[in-house]
Amino acid sequence: MDRRKFIKSTLATAALAATIRPGIAKANTGKKISITNPYAKVDWDKFGQYKANLHCHTIMSDGHACVNDMAKVYKDAGFSILAISDHDCVIKEKRPKELLEATCLDKNCISFITWPWCDFGGKSPRTHGLTGIEACELTTKHHMNSYFNGYSLGANVKNNYGYTEDQQLDEVQRRGGLSIVNHPGIQASWNQEKSLQWYVDLFKDHPADCLVGMEITNRVSEEWDGFDISLWDQLLAEFSPGRPVWGFGNDDAHSHNHAKFTFNVFYFDICSQANVRQAMLDGQFTFCDASRKVDYTKEKIEDGMFPYINSIKVDEKAQTITIDAKDYEQLRWITAPKSSKPIGDFLTSKQPWELGQVVGDAKTISYNSPAVKNYLRAELIHKDGKESYRTFVNPFGVEKI
Ligand SMILES: [Zn+2]
Ligand SMILES: [Zn+2]
């Protein structure tokens, strides 16, 4: 690894660990257990819960709806936060003429980021009653979403295909932006799969205050879920508790009437861009995923559909984590996989790596248990006929000193 990057990454990880301030408690075994809690700042009695889609497309790249239609259906479906993340390398002039004419397209604009929305035929997010997030899908190599920083390869994209993922992430970091790795399973379904080591190197080389995590559920059909979830468990096994890898659920909608039914739920007092940014750094959100698609023009997210989190609390004295939730039948606490050895060829397998081990099914778990390795995450499941609805809780780092 590039030594400069390693030092940069190590320093950033150390700085992040310092800001999280893990609670340290004395365990029954005599060992000290340090736990990093992504929800430590949440006041469960006072904070609101805000649904967010952090990845979708409009006719400004290869989507089928304009900015206003996209914003309206998400607002009507119950969302508070929307990031329109058009592809940086899909040239707008390629769009069908009638679609282009339906927008206030500025043909001289060299930015390929659909932001601010009012420059692209849309009303402001505030007018829609949404918190809008500046975003772009960096698309020329492994897809990655970039947020809050104005970077896209944009114009002359043909000349820009030579930029590596590392160079793109370095630029996002230089501009103070955040980024996530998008849909590894989709890359695999396109025969553009990467090895576990490739992802390990990416998360090692780019600090947690820029590359904050990865998509776990996205528009790809369920058959590829195992690819993304097993990759997440392997990365958490590699990096926890020092370097967080937060999981995101984004529908990657290209049309508002045929989206994967998946989204994030943020927890904070005021729904603002600054709070979304900080929560993305801290992992202060959960994400939900259904086994089916949704037409947001006809359906919104109803109460009782997805497992609903009332609170997630750590008791440092008892060394337990408790999830108080409703609308679920099954809860699974998951820790590191038994092995990092591949169980399939990543070039052909839909689940090349072991999933994390299930170590509990009650609402409270003791993180001092010998079965608990270097992280704990949770999944809550609600079944409705043949469909399943899941809520994923972001990982707690566990360090036995
Ligand atoms: Zn993509
Ligand atoms: Zn996309």
Q: How far is the CA of 196 from the centre of ligand 1 (A)?
A: 19
DSSP label of 219: S
Check residue 121 and give its pLDDT. Answer: 85
The string of pLDDT tens digits covering residues 272-315 is: 999 999 999 999 999 999 999 999 999 999 999 999 999 999 99
Contact 216, 229 (CB under 8 A): yes
- pTM over the 0.85 mark: yes
For residues 186 and 221, is the Cβ–Cβ distance under 8 A?
no
- Give domain 3-400's CATH superfamily: Metal-dependent hydrolases (3.20.20.140)
Structure tokens at 270: 């005021």
Greatest Cα pair distance in the chain: 70
Q: Which of 252, 236, 241 is closest to 23 using CA atoms?
A: 241
For residue 60, CA distances in Å to 51, 73, 274 come to 24, 17, 26
**Cα–ligand 2 centroid distance for 61 (angstroms):** 10
Average predicted confidence (pLDDT) for the chain: 87
- Is there a contact between 157 and 140 (Cβ–Cβ < 8 Å)? yes
User: How many Å lie between the centroid of ligand 2 and the Cα of residue 310?
Assistant: 31
User: Cα(203) to centroid of ligand 2, in Å?
Assistant: 21
Q: Which of 318, 301, 284 is nearest to 393 (CA)?
A: 284
Give the residue with greater pLDDT, 34 vs 154: 34
Question: Distance, CA 321 to ligand 2 centroid (Å)?
Answer: 35
Kindly give the distance from the C-alpha atom of residue 252 to the centroid of ligand 2, in angstroms, as a whole number. 5
What is the 224 CA–ligand 1 centroid distance (Å)?
Answer: 14
> Could you read off the pLDDT of 104-138 as tens digits, one per residue?
333 444 457 899 998 888 999 999 999 999 999 99
Give the pair of three-digit tokens for residue 240. 């926890």
Distance in Å, CA 172 to ligand 2 centroid: 18
Name the nearest CA neighbour of 38 among 286, 229, 217.
286
Distance from Cα 255 to the centre of ligand 2, integer Å: 11
Q: Which ligand lies nearest the alpha carbon of 61?
A: 2
CA distance 57 to 177: 20
- The band of 91, judged by pLDDT with boundaries at 50, 70 and 90, is low
| Cα 378 to middle of ligand 1, angstroms | 26
Sheet containing 320-326: which strands, arranged edge to edge? Answer: 308-315, 320-326, 364-366
Can you read off the two tokens belonging to residue 291?
């086994």
Q: What single-letter amino acid sits at 93? A: E
